[in-house]
Structure 1
Amino acid sequence: MSRPLEHPLDNPARASLTGPHQDRFAERRGRVLRYPEDVSPFVAMPDAPGAADWADLAMLAGPGATVWLPATTVTAPDDWEVNWRLEGIQMVLADDTADADDAADDTVGPIPDSEAVRLGAADVPEMLALVERTQPGPIRPRTVELGTYLGIRRGGRLVAMAGERMRPPGWTEISLVCTDVAHRGQGLGAQLILAVAAGIRDRGDRPFLHAVADNAKAIRLYESLGFRLRRRTTFSMVRVPLERATAGEWENPGPERTSAQWSPRAARPDLSPSG
């Protein structure tokens, strides 16, 4: 049996899919949950998964599928291929009261941005194109449904965006922060992070995000905006075995399936947004 969660951010995907994202997005088999494939490649395992949980994930995802294990220390069984594994950190926006002593004097609080526009279903083709150009990490046709996504346009073209991804109770993750190469160095990423954070705060949640542990530049940016280290964690992509040793577990393995087309290089910027 897995231990109870000590904090919603200890296993944020699971806290999201058993909390605010449960009714609309959660797909479940046993104790394993996942987002629909056209929303996110993230799956949520129990804190201490057993063999039955991995078997449930295999049945839920399908033979040969690749899935993401986000912000967790869970390790896949030996017969599961680990496509990549990244060491990361989890950061939270310093609270105006509780964390005031920890915040630097020069941090900037969440602020709305008059230049940022709300992105919706009609903007998905442009969002997908921007992600293709900048490679900030996984996006799907329905990712925009996870929360508020804001963008900045130049000459009518979407050149920067940021939005909300996981949503544990009381918290919202800022993610998919990206800027076109030609428009970097103007602080657009910082603008959008603060604007998204302002919306999160307005509804009573607290912002958090993730970064690759060795990306000092991104971490310095987040610290300048008021984010503080909470814990170290890992992100990994694993592949479900095409066939399982247990007789009858796969009646018909079928063709190889994939729920995410990302390499470690492509995935890395998702934890270290450009802008």
Structure 2
Amino acid sequence: MSELGIPRVDEPHVLDNPALAALTGPHAHFAERRGRVLRYPVDVSPWLALPEDPTPDDWADLAALAGPGAEVPLPGFRGEVPEGWEVTFRMEGVQFVDDGLAAAPEPEAIRLGPADVPEILDLIARTRPGPFLPRTIELGTYLGIRRDGALIAMAGERLHPPGWTEISAVCTDPAFRGEGLATRLILAVAHGIRERGETPFLHTSAQNTNAIRLYETLGFRLRRTTAFAAARAPQRLVAVS
């Protein structure tokens, strides 16, 4: 343990770079690649994967893949960006893994599909759990709860490294909070992941103390701290020899 009580992570692990593990594994069919840089299609997920210790060639490939002046996420990246790049966002994050969840099906939950995307996007816009794009629904199973026909809560699957599946897009309409809907959906999504013989994990902001408290109560264990960042690519792309 560190002085702050954070578990030390010394040995390489598939969850150290989960987007890379997913895009070279179960989500390889989504991968857009240039050199050693991989990303999801921009209407599926903002996650991308840089190699460890990216070289100038890797940054040039990322800039070419993103396009001049494009803002790109840099999940897990704590280093310095090259000259010409501009950091636009930084936030400390945490990664939790299943350590005894009481996973169980949820009778009220329904599986969401492409026809539900407009209503999902509306719920996401009102609750802001994190990015959800028009084709994010393709990443895995998304479950929702409806009342009087309206979608009021949801949760689903995002990154899919080998043997693991990330729980994401956990949100509840403010008018229905306090009923335990998020908990029930998290446990239901976790149940589906466990049924495949995989292990649930998730990410959240290190400042989101309410969510962290909930996840620890449910049976998630803090595995590591991480970082969420974004940077703007140079307006003019320079070839690297």
| TM-score when normalising by structure 2 | 0.91
Q: In structure 2, what residue type is equivalent to 1:135? A: R
Q: CA deviation at 1:242?
A: 0.9
Alignment of structure 1 residues 1-275 onto 2, 5 Å = 6-22=12-28, 24-94=29-99, 108-244=101-237, 246=238
- Aligned to 2:200, the other structure's residue is in SS state strand
- Aligned to 1:233, the other structure's residue is in SS state strand
Structure 1 CA distance for aligned equivalents of residues 216 and 121 of structure 2: 28
CA contact (8 A) 1:12 1:71 kept: no
Q: CA deviation at 1:47?
A: 1.0
Distance 1:50 1:63, change over 3 A: same
Q: CA deviation at 1:72?
A: 4.1
Q: Report the RMSD for the aligned CA atoms in angstroms.
A: 1.4
Q: CA deviation at 1:80?
A: 1.3
Q: CA deviation at 1:129?
A: 0.9
Q: In structure 2, what residue type is equivalent to 1:9? A: L
Structure 2 CA distance for aligned equivalents of residues 157 and 75 of structure 1: 45
- Aligned to 1:136, the other structure's residue is in SS state coil
Structure 1 CA distance for aligned equivalents of residues 120 and 83 of structure 2: 37
Q: In structure 2, what residue type is equivalent to 1:215? A: N
| TM-score when normalising by structure 1 | 0.80
- Aligned to 2:12, the other structure's residue is in SS state coil
- Aligned to 1:237, the other structure's residue is in SS state strand
Q: In structure 2, what residue type is equivalent to 1:204? A: G
CA contact (8 A) 1:12 1:168 kept: yes
CA contact (8 A) 1:39 1:141 kept: yes
Could you give the per-residue CA deviations for residues 34-79 of structure 1, whole angstroms, max 9, x where no partner exists?
0001101111000110100000000111111112122344543242
Distance 1:86 1:139, change over 3 A: same
Could you give the per-residue CA deviations for residues 242-273 of structure 1, whole angstroms, max 9, x where no partner exists?
114x3x67xxxxxxxxxxxxxxxxxxxxxxxx
- Aligned to 1:162, the other structure's residue is in SS state strand
Q: In structure 1, what residue type is equivalent to 2:36? A: R
Structure 2 CA distance for aligned equivalents of residues 235 and 212 of structure 1: 8
Structure 2 CA distance for aligned equivalents of residues 155 and 73 of structure 1: 46
User: Residue in 2 aligned with 1:255?
Assistant: none
- Aligned to 1:238, the other structure's residue is in SS state strand
Q: CA deviation at 1:127?
A: 0.6
Structure 2 CA distance for aligned equivalents of residues 203 and 223 of structure 1: 23
Q: Which runs of 4+ in 1 moved over 3 A?
A: 71-75
CA contact (8 A) 1:47 1:74 kept: no
Structure 2 CA distance for aligned equivalents of residues 57 and 73 of structure 1: 16
Structure 2 CA distance for aligned equivalents of residues 27 and 200 of structure 1: 25
- Aligned to 2:185, the other structure's residue is in SS state helix
Q: CA deviation at 1:6?
A: 1.4
Range moving further from structure 2, 132-141 or 146-155: 132-141
Distance 1:195 1:8, change over 3 A: same
Structure 1 CA distance for aligned equivalents of residues 77 and 220 of structure 2: 20
- Aligned to 2:94, the other structure's residue is in SS state strand
Q: Which runs of 5+ in 2 are unaligned?
A: 1-10
Count residues in correspondence.
230
Q: In structure 2, what residue type is equivalent to 1:167? A: H
Q: CA deviation at 1:216?
A: 1.9
